[in-house]
Amino acid sequence: MLEFSHPIDVNALRVAFAEQGVVVLRNFAPAEQVNAIRDAAMQGLQAREEPLELEASLAYPGAPVSSDAQGGQTIRRLRGMVARSPIFMDWATDTALIDIMRALLASDHITLTQVHHNSLMTKQPSFSSDTLWHRDVRYWRFSRPQLVSCWLALGVESPENGGLGFIPRSQGLELPEAAFDEREFLLPAHPAAAPLVAAAEFPTLAAGDVVLFDARTFHAASRNKTMLTKYSLVMSYHASDNYPLAGSRSAAELGIVC
């Protein structure tokens, strides 16, 4: 997986992203901003401010079986982050970040979707779950499947605490329907999927590192096997002329033009 650090050569980044479908930006967010984001996020978690999603609501492997079971009230993510505080909005509309999105999406006009991602993601030491191999476009409905997500690490992320893994160069692959289960998760034992999963990469991130990935790039994460909760902030963007399909969940809320 290709990595970039300051100063970023945006043209080289664009070429790498087009080839790989995922890149890492080291030390992209300054420590002061990361700390402010984390502090504001912790306040929302402690207050259990809606909207939020529980681990139990998704029934992923390792999650509590119901919201009434032990650990059933474990929060998986806070939603609607940019509407919660200017701290999150400032990050999501950061000039340097939006300039990169313009290059990656080949558009001068970028929109932040408020429907997809726009979340604080958590992996708790207990009752967290495995996120199986998938593409985000499985439930996203736009006129073109061209969206880019920005994953900001708010602390250390690794395979041990449920850090995301990616299958580079998977964004343009066409796989048979039989390679997926009924929830559109990739079946890793399928002959078409097995060599892809074997080539997956799991970057270790530090606070302030960013992963940019195409919504068509396969990614997955295990449950958290450590004693500390992992936190990440994730936003997704599209060209402003790439409209959500009318009547779909993607059109449920207006995006923010950046």
Q: How high is the pLDDT of residue 58?
A: 86
DSSP 145-195: --EEEEEEESS-B-GGGT--EE-TT-TT----GGGB-TTS-B-TTSTTTHH
Q: How high is the pLDDT of residue 195?
A: 97
Record the tokens describing residue 31, joined without a space: 């420590």
Q: How high is the pLDDT of residue 68?
A: 85
Q: How high is the pLDDT of residue 101?
A: 98
List of residues 6+ apart from 43 with CB closer than 8 A? none
Q: What CATH number is attached to the domain comprising 98?
A: 2.60.120.620
Q: How high is the pLDDT of residue 160?
A: 96
State pTM to two decimals.
0.96
Helices (H) and strands (E) in the chain, counts: 5, 13
List of the chain residues with pLDDT < 50: none
Record the tokens describing residue 13, joined without a space: 């980044």
What phi and psi values does residue 2 have, to the nearest 5 degrees? -80, 140
Number of domains the chain is built from: 1
C-alpha–C-alpha distance, residues 210 and 154, integer Å: 10
C-alpha–C-alpha distance, residues 70 and 66, integer Å: 8
Q: How high is the pLDDT of residue 18?
A: 98
Instruction: Identify the three-state secondary structure at position 136.
Output: helix
Record the tokens describing residue 178, joined without a space: 């039989």
Give per-residue pLDDT as tens, 56-68: 998 888 888 898 8
Burial class (CB in 10 A: 0-12, 13-18, 19+), 153: buried
List of residues 6+ apart from 5 with CB closer than 8 A? 25, 26, 27
Q: How high is the pLDDT of residue 126?
A: 86
Q: How high is the pLDDT of residue 212?
A: 98
Give per-residue pLDDT as tens, 211-248: 999 999 999 999 999 999 999 999 999 999 999 999 99
Sign of CA pseudo-dihedral 33, 36, 38, 40:
negative
Cβ-contact 199, 167 below 8 angstroms? yes
- Structural domain range at position 79: 3-257
